[in-house]
């Protein structure tokens, strides 16, 4: 395994430089066996995520806006001691798929690169970057988008290129 890249400025730069190659690799991965690909991704995710402390990064919270369920809105609004309606009016917007998302970036709950609501964080936040889930090949567009945001995604994708001898 090569050296793990965690420098966020480098991720952003490499994300731009590798965009075309990453799209070609996406097409290559689409032709692979999904079950085998998932197994490889899960193994790499486990190895790489052990070496990266997400709570020290916070880059996803700085750059992304998670969708929230009504239940999560209720929980977060109670945490702030405001009504769900006030929370929605102040902090929610609808995305292009009509999902309720936090409207402020970086996330309002991010304090010094640490989630201030970690124990009650939304499911989308808890499951990010989704590499532990099945169906990796169906989420490859999102992987490419997260490549320059999340050090774990970046390193897993780069290791996959090595594993599959992609040039």
The reply to whether 32 and 47 lie within a common domain is: yes
Confidence (pTM):
0.93
The reply to whether 70 and 50 lie within a common domain is: no
Burial class (CB in 10 A: 0-12, 13-18, 19+), 31: exposed
Strand partners, 67: 101
Assess contact for 61 and 114: CB atoms under 8 A: no
The reply to whether 86 and 109 lie within a common domain is: yes
Residue 2 lies in a domain: no
The reply to whether 24 and 106 lie within a common domain is: no
Determine the 3-state secondary structure of 100 from DSSP: strand
The reply to whether 69 and 42 lie within a common domain is: no
Domain count, the chain: 2
The reply to whether 19 and 46 lie within a common domain is: yes
The reply to whether 50 and 21 lie within a common domain is: yes
The reply to whether 55 and 69 lie within a common domain is: no
Residue 113 scores a pLDDT above 90: no
Residue 56 scores a pLDDT above 90: no
The reply to whether 78 and 94 lie within a common domain is: yes
Residue 127 scores a pLDDT above 90: yes
Residue 3 lies in a domain: no
Residue 79 lies in a domain: yes
Within 13 Å of residue 73, how many CA atoms lie on the same side as its CB?
Answer: 20
List pLDDT tens digits, range 12-23: 999 999 999 999
Residue 155 scores a pLDDT above 90: yes
Residue 1 lies in a domain: no
Determine the 3-state secondary structure of 91 from DSSP: helix
Determine the 3-state secondary structure of 25 from DSSP: helix
The reply to whether 69 and 52 lie within a common domain is: no
Helices and strands of the chain, counted as H and E runs: 9, 4
The reply to whether 106 and 26 lie within a common domain is: no
Q: Which domain holds residue 156?
A: 8-60+129-163
Residue 29 scores a pLDDT above 90: yes
CA distances from 37 to 1, 45, 138, 148 (A): 18, 12, 11, 21
Q: What is the pLDDT of residue 112?
A: 86
The reply to whether 53 and 26 lie within a common domain is: yes
């Amino acid at each position: 395994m090569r050296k793990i890249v965690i420098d966020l400025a480098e991720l952003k730069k490499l994300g731009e430089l590798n965009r075309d190659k990453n799209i070609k690799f996406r097409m290559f991965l689409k032709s692979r066996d999904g079950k085998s690909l998932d197994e490889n991704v899960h193994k790499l995710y486990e190895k790489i995520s052990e070496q990266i402390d997400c709570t020290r990064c916070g880059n996803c919270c700085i750059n992304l806006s998670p969708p929230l369920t009504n239940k999560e809105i209720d929980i977060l609004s109670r945490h702030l001691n405001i009504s769900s309606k006030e929370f929605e009016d102040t902090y929610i917007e609808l995305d292009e798929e009509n999902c309720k998302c936090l409207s402020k970036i970086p996330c309002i709950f991010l304090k010094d690169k640490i989630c201030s609501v970690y124990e009650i964080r939304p499911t989308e936040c808890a499951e990010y970057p989704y590499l532990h889930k099945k169906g990796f090949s169906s989420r490859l567009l999102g992987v490419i988008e997260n490549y320059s945001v999340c050090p774990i995604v970046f390193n897993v994708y780069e290791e996959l290129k090595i594993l599959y001898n992609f040039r």
